[in-house]
Each structure stands twice: as structure tokens, then as C-alpha cells.
């Protein structure tokens, strides 16, 4: 989770590949009118976000296996909306300074989100806080190092057992450490 340009999709793809889990790209769940609105430089309203988050939530619920999702989930209310579909969610907050986000967004040419909307996203962002279940990741780290942070956090939370690409994985994640 995090604003546009933080690298959440890159990290999500790496985690999904590592675990052999399916990945959902949040941008694929925006209705066409949301994408058109964003492309025009018009920020989404909370009403615009409801069907987007519900679509992601339904996809999470429909998965028979753990699923990795890339989604902005900027407000606590957005994260709570997703938790209505699946209580056992760990949010990996990819935290990047605003100037670096701006630099990254301006370098992209293949995304519908224009740089002019970064300020709105940063104003909307409510960083996760206790008692939310999250791990904070320094988005300036390499993708491999970010992946190690997420995996380290998952391994430090034993309770549920699962399998990831032939490896045994355990997690509960009731703790909320800040790992950099």
C-alpha cells in the first residue's frame, strides 16, 4: 500500500513470485470512469473509491490461497473496507519521501496517474498505525531488500502455517514492528 510511484506493484510482483501466490494489481480494478477521471488530473472522491475497493475485496475473498495485492489503500477506512472481505490482511506500507515519489512519477510514461495528483494522494494518505496490522518498508531500498523485510516480518509472526513455492511459511502478524 502507498501512494502512486512508491513501488508497491514491483514489491507485490516480487512477493507473489517468491511465494508462488497469485497477484492482484489494484489498478486493474478501477472502473473505466475512475481511470478516465485520474487521467484528466481529477482526484478520486471517496465515492469513486468504494467500487474499486469492493472489487479488490471480492477478488481477495474469492481466492482459495493467499493472494498478494497492490493497492493504494491510502486511508484507514480503505484498509478497513478491504478487511471486511478478509480479516487476515497484513499491509506492507511502502514509504517513500514526497520528492522521490515526484521524481519517479515524472519518469513514468505508461501510467494513467499524472504527476499533478501526487499532492492529493499525499494529503489523502493516513499512514497505518497501531492497532492496524502492517509493516513499514523503506521504499528507497532495493526490491530484494524490501522483499526480505516483508518475509522477515512474516516469519516473525508464527501462528498460521502455509506453503509457499515448496517452502514452509508461518505468519500471524499481530505485531506491528517498523522495519527499515
Positive/negative CA dihedral, 80, 84, 89, 92: negative
pLDDT in tens, the chain (180 residues): 999 999 999 999 999 999 999 999 999 999 999 999 988 999 999 999 999 999 999 999 999 899 999 999 999 999 999 999 998 899 999 999 999 999 999 887 776 777 889 999 999 999 999 999 999 999 999 999 999 999 999 888 755 444 444 443 333 444 333 333
**What contacts 2, CB < 8 A, 6 or more positions away?**
8, 72, 74, 93, 94, 95, 96, 125, 139
Distance CA 100, CA 84 (A): 33
Helix (H) or strand (E) holding 94: strand 91-95
What pLDDT is stored for residue 113 in this prediction? 73
Residue whose cell numbers read 494489481: 25
What pLDDT is stored for residue 174 in this prediction? 40
The CA-based dihedral angle spanning residues 44, 47, 48, 51, taken in that order and rounded to the nearest 10 degrees? 150
**What contacts 110, CB < 8 A, 6 or more positions away?**
none
Chain centre to alpha carbon of residue 98 = 17
Rounded to two decimals, the pTM is 0.84
What pLDDT is stored for residue 175 in this prediction? 35
What pLDDT is stored for residue 111 in this prediction? 65
As its CATH architecture, domain 8-171 has 3-Layer(aba) Sandwich (3.40)
What pLDDT is stored for residue 155 in this prediction? 84
| Per-domain residue ranges of the chain | 8-171
- In a 10 Å sphere around its CB, with 0-12 CB exposed, 13-18 middle and 19+ buried, how is residue 175 labelled? exposed
Amino acid at each position: 500500500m502507498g501512494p502512486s510511484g512508491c513501488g508497491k506493484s514491483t514489491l507485490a510482483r516480487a512477493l507473489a513470485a517468491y511465494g508462488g501466490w497469485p497477484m492482484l494489481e489494484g489498478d486493474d480494478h478501477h472502473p473505466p470512469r475512475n481511470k478516465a477521471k485520474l487521467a484528466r488530473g481529477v482526484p478520486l472522491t471517496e465515492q469513486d473509491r468504494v467500487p474499486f475497493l469492493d472489487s479488490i475485496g471480492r477478488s481477495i475473498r474469492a481466492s482459495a490461497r493467499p493472494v498478494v495485492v497492490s493497492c493504494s489503500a491510502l486511508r484507514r477506512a480503505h484498509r478497513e473496507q478491504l478487511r471486511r472481505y478478509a480479516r487476515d490482511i497484513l499491509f506492507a506500507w511502502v514509504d517513500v519521501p514526497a520528492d522521490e515519489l515526484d521524481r519517479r512519477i515524472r519518469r513514468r510514461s505508461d501510467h494513467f496517474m499524472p504527476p499533478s495528483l501526487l499532492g492529493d494522494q499525499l494529503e489523502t494518505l493516513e499512514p497505518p498505525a497501531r492497532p492496524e496490522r502492517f509493516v513499514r518498508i523503506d521504499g528507497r531500498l532495493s526490491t530484494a531488500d524490501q522483499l526480505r523485510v516483508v518475509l522477515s516480518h512474516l516469519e516473525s509472526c508464527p501462528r498460521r502455517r502455509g506453503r509457499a513455492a515448496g517452502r514452509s511459511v508461518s505468519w500471524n502478524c499481530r505485531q506491528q514492528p517498523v522495519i527499515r
